[in-house]
Structures are given as C-alpha cells and as structure tokens.
C-alpha cells in the first residue's frame, strides 16, 4: 500500500526528532496536555515546554491544533500505551 503525502510528512517529522522528542510529539498529537505529558513521561512541565518548543522549531510551525488535526489519525492508542513512565 502506497503512503499518502501526509503519511510521508508524518514519517519525515518523526525521523527528524530524537527519541524523547518523538515521545512528546506522539503524546501531543494524541491530545495530551503539557501537564499530562509531563506526568506520563516523568518530566517537569518546563521540560515538556522546552521539548515542544524544539519540536515546533524542527517542524516549522507552532500550530498545535493543526498538527493534531492533521496527524492524530497516524497515532494509535497502542503507540501511546507503549510509552512507559
């Protein structure tokens, strides 16, 4: 099955992120708030904000809602559940 342009873009984003940034990004796209991400990954809220700033810089956007709308279908609940505390 051939990937759509959005799937290719999503994979390209993931390839450009570190493992921790990927974890934050997947949770962010899954609709988690910064505080929920911090709790899930055992990080401070400030650290999560820093990761999100880095992710936005790498992606070239600060439109969280647009990212969620565009990529949430590529994030399965199983992806999120694999991220252990």
Per-residue pLDDT tens listing for the chain (85 residues):
677 888 888 889 999 999 999 999 999 999 999 999 999 999 999 999 999 999 999 999 889 999 999 888 888 755 666 565 4
DSSP code of residue 17 = S
Q: Count, in order, helices (H) and strands (E) of the chain.
A: 6, 0
Cβ contact 71:10 at 8 Å? yes
> Residue 74: left if φ>0, alpha if ψ -120 to 50, beta else—which one?
alpha
């Amino acid at each position: 099955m051939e990937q759509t342009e959005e799937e290719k873009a999503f994979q390209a984003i993931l390839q450009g992120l570190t493992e921790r940034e990927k974890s934050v990004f997947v949770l962010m796209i899954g609709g988690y708030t910064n505080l929920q991400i911090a709790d899930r990954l055992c990080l401070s809220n400030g650290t999560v904000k820093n990761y999100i700033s880095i992710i936005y810089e790498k992606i070239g956007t600060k439109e969280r809602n647009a990212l969620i709308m565009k990529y949430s279908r590529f994030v399965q609940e199983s992806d999120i559940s694999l991220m252990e505390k």
